[in-house]
C-alpha cells in the first residue's frame, strides 16, 4: 500500500495557518469580508423582503449559494498555483471568517469593565458580543449575557468555521459564515423576521449540529484548564441543554456553565422582546472572574477544535490518496 500527498494535507495546513493569523492579527481591520457580506445582504433584503417564508428561502439561497460559488471559483484559481494554493485560500478564508480572537479579547475587556464597575463602558461594548438590550441590564445581567455569548459564539465563531473548512475547504468556510451571519441578521422570532428569517435560522441549526457538540466535548475535556470538572460540564449538558430554545446554543452554553461552575439562563431581553430562558447549570451566578475564565476556556477550545479539524481534513481526504499496489 502506497500513499501520496493529497490536497486535504494542504487544507489542514490552511486551517492551522488561518488560526495563527487570527491569533496574530485578530479580525481584518479594513474591508472585512463579513461586513461586506452584511451590506450586500441588507441591500438584497430591501428588494426581496416580504412576510413570507418563500421570500426568505430565496433571500438566503441567493446569498449562501452565491458565496459558496465564489468560494469554489477562488479555490479553482488557487489550485492553478499548485497544492500550496489550497493552503493559502483556506488560510485566507478561515482568517476572514474566524471571530475567535476578537471574541476572547472582547470577553476579557467586558470582564475588566464589570470588575471596575464601568457600566457605561460595559453597555457600550455589549453589542459587540450579542444582540441584547444593554440599557435594561445591570452588572449581573451584563456579565451573564456576555458569558452566554462567549460560550455560544465559541461554537459559531470558531468551531463551526474550522469544522466546515475541514469538510469542504474554502467553500465550506465561506458558506458556513454566510449562513451564520444571516442567522444573526434575520434569524429572530420577531414580527418582521418570524417568517422571512425562518429558513436562515433552520439552516443555521442544521450546519451547527456537529460543531456545537464538538464544542461541548472539548469544553468538558478542557474544563480543568480553568479549574472546572469535566463531569460537571457533561452533567449540565445532559440535564439542561435540551431545555434551551436553540438545539445547538444550549449544548455550548450548558457545557460551559458546568465547566465554570455557574448557572446561566433566566430573563433575556432583546430589542424584539423578552424571552425567559431555562436555567443551565447548578452553580452560582457568574462574576467578572468567571467571564475571564470563560474567555480563557474559549481560547483553549478554539485551538483544540482547529487541531481536531486539521486531523479530520486529512482523514476525510485520505481514502482518495490510498493506492493499493498489485503484484
Q: Which long-range contacts (CB under 8 A, 24 or more apart) does 78-86 make?
A: 78/170, 83/5, 83/7, 83/10, 84/10, 86/7, 86/10, 86/11, 86/14, 86/169, 86/170
Residue 185 pLDDT > 90? yes
- For residue 295, give the nearest of 92, 114, 35, 121 by alpha carbon: 114
70-119 per-position pLDDT tens digit: 999 999 998 888 778 889 999 999 999 998 999 999 999 999 999 999 99
Domain count, the chain: 1
At a CB cut-off of 8 Å and minimum separation 6, what does 190 contact? Answer: 272, 273
Residue 4 banded pLDDT, cuts 50, 70, 90: very low
242-273 per-position pLDDT tens digit: 999 899 999 999 999 999 999 998 877 666 66
**Residue 327, pLDDT score:** 41
Provide the residue range defining the domain that includes 236. 2-323
30-67 per-position pLDDT tens digit: 778 888 999 999 999 999 999 999 999 999 999 999 99
- The pLDDT mean for the chain works out to 91
Cα(120)–Cα(116) distance, integer angstroms = 11
The CA distances from residue 224 to 80, 159, 227, in Å, are 45, 20, 5
In the block, cell 448557572 appears at 263
Q: Which residue has the higher pLDDT, 201 or 322?
A: 201
Amino acid at each position: 500500500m502506497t500513499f501520496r500527498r493529497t490536497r486535504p494535507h494542504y487544507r489542514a495546513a490552511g486551517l492551522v495557518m488561518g488560526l495563527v493569523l487570527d491569533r496574530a492579527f485578530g479580525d481584518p481591520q479594513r474591508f472585512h469580508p463579513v461586513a461586506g457580506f452584511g451590506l450586500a445582504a441588507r441591500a438584497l433584503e430591501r428588494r426581496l423582503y416580504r412576510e413570507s417564508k418563500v421570500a426568505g428561502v430565496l433571500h438566503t439561497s441567493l446569498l449562501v449559494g452565491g458565496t459558496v460559488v465564489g468560494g469554489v471559483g477562488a479555490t479553482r484559481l488557487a489550485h492553478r498555483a499548485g497544492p500550496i494554493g489550497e493552503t493559502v485560500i483556506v488560510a485566507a478564508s478561515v482568517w476572514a471568517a474566524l471571530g475567535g480572537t476578537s471574541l476572547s479579547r472582547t470577553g476579557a475587556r467586558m470582564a475588566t469593565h464589570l470588575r471596575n464597575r464601568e457600566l457605561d463602558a460595559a453597555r457600550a461594548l455589549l453589542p459587540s458580543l450579542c444582540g441584547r438590550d444593554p440599557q435594561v441590564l445591570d452588572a449581573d445581567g451584563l456579565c451573564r449575557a456576555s458569558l452566554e455569548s462567549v460560550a455560544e459564539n465559541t461554537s459559531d465563531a470558531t468551531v463551526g468555521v474550522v469544522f466546515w473548512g475541514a469538510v469542504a475547504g474554502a467553500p465550506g468556510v465561506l458558506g458556513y459564515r454566510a449562513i451564520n451571519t444571516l442567522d444573526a441578521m434575520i434569524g429572530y422570532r420577531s414580527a418582521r423576521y418570524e417568517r422571512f428569517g425562518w429558513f436562515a435560522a433552520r439552516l443555521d441549526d442544521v450546519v451547527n449540529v456537529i460543531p456545537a457538540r464538538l464544542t461541548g466535548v472539548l469544553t468538558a475535556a478542557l474544563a480543568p484548564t480553568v479549574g472546572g470538572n469535566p463531569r460537571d460540564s457533561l452533567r449540565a449538558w445532559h440535564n439542561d441543554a435540551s431545555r434551551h430554545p436553540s438545539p445547538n446554543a444550549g449544548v455550548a452554553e450548558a457545557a460551559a456553565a458546568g465547566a465554570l461552575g455557574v448557572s446561566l439562563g433566566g430573563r433575556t431581553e432583546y430589542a424584539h422582546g423578552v424571552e425567559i430562558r431555562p436555567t443551565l447549570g447548578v452553580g452560582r451566578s457568574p462574576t467578572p472572574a468567571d467571564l475571564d475564565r470563560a474567555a480563557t476556556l474559549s481560547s483553549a477550545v478554539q485551538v483544540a477544535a482547529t487541531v481536531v479539524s486539521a486531523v479530520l481534513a486529512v482523514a476525510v481526504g485520505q481514502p482518495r490518496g490510498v493506492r493499493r499496489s498489485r503484484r
